[in-house]
Amino acid sequence: MRIVIAGGHGQIALRLERLLAKRGDEVAGIIRRPEQAGDLLAAGAEPVVCDLESASVEDVARHLEGADAAVFAAGAGPGSGTERKDTVDRGAAALFADAAEAAGVRRFLVISSMGADREPPEGTDPVFAAYLRAKGAADADVRSRAGLDWTILRPGRLTDDPGTGLVTLADATGRGDVPRDDVAATLVELLDEPRTTGRTLELIGGDVPVVDAVRTVAAH
């Protein structure tokens, strides 16, 4: 497959690129800064420099032409304020979805966040609350699109612990941690499982091998 990843220099995206390249897929990562290109090349991905905060739908659609799937893994990242949560975590997701539809790329995966489906609890840090609201709005936008075969993945609290290959994947899992390695591994399996189209799934660490967890969810 050819897979295009928005936010190609993100921590999960780089892991996903390595996994996809290792198994022989052609993968391109959209990045904002040219100096990030070396990390993508090292991961086996083609770097594509394109700023999703200023690009047009047509610009992005050109990068998606001929792709079999698109993955939205972009985020404003730590240290960014509330405004960029909206322009990146929501706005860039809508732009990327528009571009996928324009390019005829139906399979569309989104890395979201647990808690994005409800109003943040009182006392939540304002920037994190803005992030959750932006992710929730982005998810709602993607779910409204009949032109995309979408799957939304909402991991729990991300860690840099080595992946175990064992997860809990369900419509609702409850709170928990999950290594970024295991999020990337789950995304690979979701790309291959069209029966997860139209599902919003939560992911935390668990005791079920990733392949089995995705197959079980797909069968129900």
Full pLDDT tens readout for the chain, 220 residues: 999 999 999 999 999 999 999 999 999 999 999 999 999 999 999 999 999 999 999 999 999 999 999 999 998 777 778 888 888 889 999 999 999 999 999 999 999 999 998 899 899 999 889 999 999 999 999 999 999 999 999 999 999 999 999 999 999 999 999 999 999 999 999 999 999 999 999 999 999 999 999 999 999 9
- The residue count of the chain comes to 220
Q: What pLDDT, on the 0 to 100 scale, is given for residue 60?
A: 98
Is residue 196 within 8 A of residue 190, CB to CB? The reply is: yes
Type of residue at 101: E
How distant, in Å, are the alpha carbons of 31, 57, 121, 167, 174 from that of 73? 11, 17, 25, 20, 22
Q: What pLDDT, on the 0 to 100 scale, is given for residue 6?
A: 98
Q: What pLDDT, on the 0 to 100 scale, is given for residue 78?
A: 74
pTM of the model: 0.95
CA nearest neighbour of 193 among 162, 153, 163, 164: 153
Helix (H) or strand (E) holding 130: helix 126-143
Q: What pLDDT, on the 0 to 100 scale, is given for residue 81?
A: 80
The residues that are catalytic are 131
